[in-house]
Amino acid sequence: QLQLQESGPGLVKPSETLSLTCTVSGGSISSSSYYWGWIRQPPGKGLEWIGSIYYSGSTYYNPSLKSRVTISVDTSKNQFSLKLSSVTAADTAVYYCGRFLEWLSPLDVWGQGTTVNVSS
Amino acid sequence: DIVMTQSPDSLAVSLGERATINCKSSQSVLYSSNNKNYLAWYQQKPGQPPNLLISWASTRESGVPDRFSGSGSGTDFTLTISSLQAEDVAVYYCQQYFSTPYTFGQGTKLEIK
């Protein structure tokens, strides 16, 4: 059964870069048609798609975050990663990684999420 | 961006009664070439990630109880729980995947009356 697990620092200082990794187990990140992505949820609020990546490295970002976001993939480690630069308190959220079965499809598998607080 | 608007924001329903949540998109999410609505419903319980209940507006995911159903087309969609159970207490989100950026509704909190 496919499982995703987010990892990374739980505390990031303002203006610094948030870095998270999603490790995929129980399946290959290189499986054709699958896309992988990041979603975040600020405390007590709704869900925001950050961006997605295909195993080939093709990326798609939310325009609202595009200038600060980089998503990358490491097929040898079955992982993909998120970097969000110049963070502020507004970036405090639970960050989820997830799988899309194909382009333009819902997230059918989610990680448990990791909480990132932006604070000095 | 396609704006997704859910109603109501919160809902209290008695056990065994029907619960109905609405979702409206700012533009159609029906793709004419395949006649599919690019609309999903998720359930999120406290401290858990969202769980995909329904895709393509009305296709129940494997393992989802048949008391959950989705309907609608174009810009107006509905999630119905035919007979509310205690374990259905959660926040429900709709999401469009017709185009990027993928967007979600603000969520509807479902409680027991």
Q: What is the pLDDT of residues A23-69, one digit of tens each?
A: 999 999 998 889 999 999 999 999 999 999 999 999 999 999 999 99
CB–CB contact B52 A104 (8 Å): no
State chain B's mean pLDDT as an integer: 98
CB–CB contact A106 B104 (8 Å): no
Chain B residues lying within 8 Å of A62, measured CB to CB: 100-101
Instruction: Pick the residue from chain B with its C-alpha nearest to A66.
Output: B101
Q: Measured between alpha carbons, how far is B63 from B76 in angstroms, rounded to an integer?
A: 25
Computed from CA positions of residues B56, B38, B93, A22, in that sequence, does the dihedral angle turn out positive or negative? positive
Answer whether B53's CB lies under 8 Å from B64's CB. Answer: yes
Q: Can you tell me which residue has the tokens 């195993």?
A: A55
Q: Measured between alpha carbons, how far is A71 from A61 in angstroms, rounded to an integer?
A: 8
Model pLDDT for residues B60-109, shown as the tens digit of each residue = 999 999 999 999 999 999 999 999 999 999 999 999 999 999 999 999 99
Amino acid at A59: T
| A26 to chain B, closest Cα gap in Å | 19
pLDDT band at A107 (very low <50, low <70, confident <90, very high): very high
Supply φ then ψ for residue B86, to 5 degrees.
Answer: -60, -35
Which residue in the set A47, A104, A110 is minimally distant from B93, CB to CB?
A47
CB–CB contact B97 A111 (8 Å): no
Instruction: Pick the residue from chain B with its C-alpha nearest to A60.
Output: B100
Instruction: Pick the residue from chain B with its C-alpha nearest to A100.
Output: B97
Looking at residues B11-16, what average pLDDT do you find? Answer: 98
Chain B residues lying within 8 Å of A50, measured CB to CB: none
CA proximity to B89, closest of B46, B42, B58: B46
CB–CB contact A106 B95 (8 Å): yes
DSSP state of A103: S
